[in-house]
Amino acid sequence: MALEIEHKFLVTGDGWRQAVERSVRFSQGYLVSDDIRSVRVRLEGDEARLNIKRSGIGTSRAEYEWPIPPAEAAEILATLCGAKVEKTRHFVPHAGHLWEIDEFAGDNAGLVVAEVELAFEGEPFARPDWVGADVSHELRYYNSQLAVRPYRDWTDAERG
C-alpha cells in the first residue's frame, strides 16, 4: 500500500519566498470526496494526475496516484468535477526536507499552507521560522474540503 505521511502547517509571513526552488500552478477537482475516500484529478503545470486517497484526519493516509494525459485531465475538470481548487505550489528546501507551500487562489485566496512529507511516522524534521500552527488534524484545511467550503466562506473565528 502507498502511504502518504505529511504534516500541514499555516504559513506566517513571506520569509520562505527567497528560498523557492520552483513553482507550479495547480488546478484540481474532485470526482468523489466522502468520509472514506477522495478521487481527484489534478493539472500540475504541463502534467496531470489521477489520485485516490483514503479520507481521514491526521498525518498518514493511503494514497495512490497515476499520470494521465493533460488534455483528458482538463476535460474531466471541465465536465465531471464540481468545485475546484486553484493554487500555486512553491517548493522550498529546508534542513533536509522539501517543503511544499500552497498559495491558494480563487475562492481560497489568502490561504497559504505548508506541507512536509516524511519517509516514516515520527521522522524528525526542522520547522522553518515561517511555519505557524500545525493544522494536520483540522479537516477544513484539506483540499477536498476547500473545494466544497472555500476559505472565502469561513468566519473570522475559523480563520484564527
> So which residues are the catalytic ones?
30
Cα–Cα distance, 26 to 42 (Å, whole number): 7
Q: Which helix (H) or strand (E) holds 64?
A: strand 60-67
CA distances from 130 to 4, 84, 148 (A): 23, 27, 28
Evaluate the CA torsion angle 20, 115, 144, 4 in order and state its sign.
positive
